[in-house]
């Protein structure tokens, strides 16, 4: 059954008509980790939205060491290499529970210059039971076939040495080919638990 008011279709076939104003932030999919090697978004990234927002909530690694980091890569079409070229920046504020370390600094060890590696979003994440990462990343206009694709990420990290770390990472994927896939993974182990949500921003 549909509803038409004053000549305008409000709803039909089980859906609100696309012309009806709704929220501008639309949940597209949710991936839940269960000791997962990767969490891959392989559909839904199209030209429908000019911005795709990813929320990482309570992402918890299986490993607990300083070389573990949580990162992402992207790919095009149906490819599965996840090795697109990026140039990125990283800086962070950090403060220890013991109050003996406090700083804001550029993290040149976490950026890439035309690199194709997994891009770090949060590093040295603690693997103890209550330690995790939460944050947000925006990927802008991934379907553009003219421009490079920018991204911005901010995450708070429970660093394995009991330090809070406010991590800022940004950059661009240096391709004019449409991006269709985003992969999140840990180095040095799996994503033991946590969820990652993908939203489209109208």
Contacting positions for other proteins (CB under 8 A)? 1-3, 11-16, 20-27, 55, 57-58, 60, 93-99, 102-104, 129-136, 154-158, 162-166, 195, 197, 199
Question: What is d(CA 92, CA 181) in angstroms, rounded to the nearest whole number?
Answer: 27
Joined together, the tokens standing for residue 122 give 């949060």
- Compute, in degrees rounded to 10, the torsion defined by CA atoms 75, 194, 150, 41: 30
Nearer to other proteins, 98 or 145 (CB): 98
Nearer to other proteins, 116 or 193 (CB): 193
In the block, tokens 């840990």 appear at 186
Nearer to other proteins, 24 or 37 (CB): 24
Question: What is d(CA 26, CA 202) in angstroms, rounded to the nearest whole number?
Answer: 8
Q: What is the CA radius of gyration of the chain?
A: 19
Nearer to other proteins, 150 or 154 (CB): 154
Sign of CA dihedral 56, 58, 60, 64: positive
């Amino acid at each position: 059954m549909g509803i038409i008011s004053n000549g305008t279709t409000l709803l039909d076939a089980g859906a609100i008509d696309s012309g009806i104003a709704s929220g501008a932030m639309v949940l597209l999919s949710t991936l839940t980790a269960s000791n997962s090697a990767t969490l891959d978004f392989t559909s839904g990234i199209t030209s429908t939205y000019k911005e795709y927002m990813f929320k990482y909530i309570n992402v918890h690694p299986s490993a607990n060491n300083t070389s573990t980091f949580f990162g992402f890569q992207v790919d095009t079409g149906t490819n599965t290499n996840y090795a697109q070229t990026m140039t990125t920046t990283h800086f962070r504020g950090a403060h220890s529970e013991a109050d003996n370390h406090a700083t804001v600094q550029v993290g040149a060890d976490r950026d890439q210059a035309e690199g194709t590696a997994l891009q770090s979003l949060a590093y040295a994440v603690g693997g103890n039971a209550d330690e995790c990462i939460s944050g947000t990343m925006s990927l802008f206009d991934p379907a553009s076939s003219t421009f490079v694709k920018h991204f911005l990420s901010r995450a708070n990290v429970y660093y394995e040495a009991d330090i809070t770390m406010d991590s800022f990472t940004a950059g661009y994927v240096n391709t004019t080919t449409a991006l269709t896939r985003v992969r999140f993974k840990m180095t040095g182990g799996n994503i033991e638990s946590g969820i990652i949500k993908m939203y489209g921003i109208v």
